[in-house]
Every structure is written in structure tokens, then in C-alpha cells.
Homo-oligomer: A and B are copies of this chain.
Amino acid sequence: MKKLPLDEVEELLRTVPGWSLADGKLFREFTFAGFSEAFGFMTAMAIAAESMDHHPEWFNVHKNVKVWLNSHEVDGISSSDFELASKMNAFFSGMVQQQK
């Protein structure tokens, strides 16, 4: 795992819509149809995170989930953060389509 330089981070940010840089971390806010959907998302991502041994910082209230990703091992952002961000986007996309 290595720290990505800022220009590479900005390049990769284009691949994960909705994510931005905040205080040196990848950040995204997700809004769901309700609490069960929000927490179901968090559980699926908790298991995915555990299998990567790479855990998010996240805040939840009701149907809202805020996520911050960084890699403290390298004191910055690594490819693992983008991998987890991408998994979250894929999972979220499906759940949003279902709500339409």
C-alpha cells in the first residue's frame, strides 16, 4: 500500500462519482429511502471492508450516511480507499434504482 500523490487522487476521483476530497480524506454522503436501507448498506459494506481489512470512518443518522476514507498506514489516500469507494458506489447505485 502506498500513498497516492494529489494529482493521481484527483484523476481517480473522476472514477467515483459523488466523492470529493475533504481534509485529506475521500468523502461522500449517501441518502437512502429509510433507516433499514441505510443500515443494510452499512452492513454489506462493513463485511466488504473487513474482507479488505480496510475500515471506513462513517457517521449515520436515520437515512443518511457520511463516509470518510483514508489509509492511516500511509498517512494519506491509497488505492484501497478508491477500491472501497467504488464498492460503495456500486452497491448504492443498485439500491437507488430500486427506490425509483
A interface list, Cβ under 8 A from B? 35-37, 39-51, 53, 55-62, 90-91, 93-99
Contact = CB atoms under 8 A, between A and B. Distances in A.
Q: Is the interface of A mostly helix, strand, loop or mixed?
A: helix
Identical chains in the assembly:
4
B44 A36 contact: yes
Nearest to A53: B51
Given A95-B94, A97-B98, A57 B61 contact: yes
Nearest to A90: B98
Nearest 9 Cβ contacts at the A-B interface: A94-B98, A40-B44, A36-B47, A43-B43, A57-B61, A36-B48, A94-B94, A59-B59, A36-B44
Given A50-B50, A57-B61, 19 more contacts: A35-B47, A35-B50, A36-B45, A37-B91, A39-B43, A39-B44, A40-B47, A40-B91, A43-B43, A47-B47, A51-B51, A51-B53, A55-B61, A58-B60, A59-B59, A90-B98, A91-B98, A95-B95, A97-B98
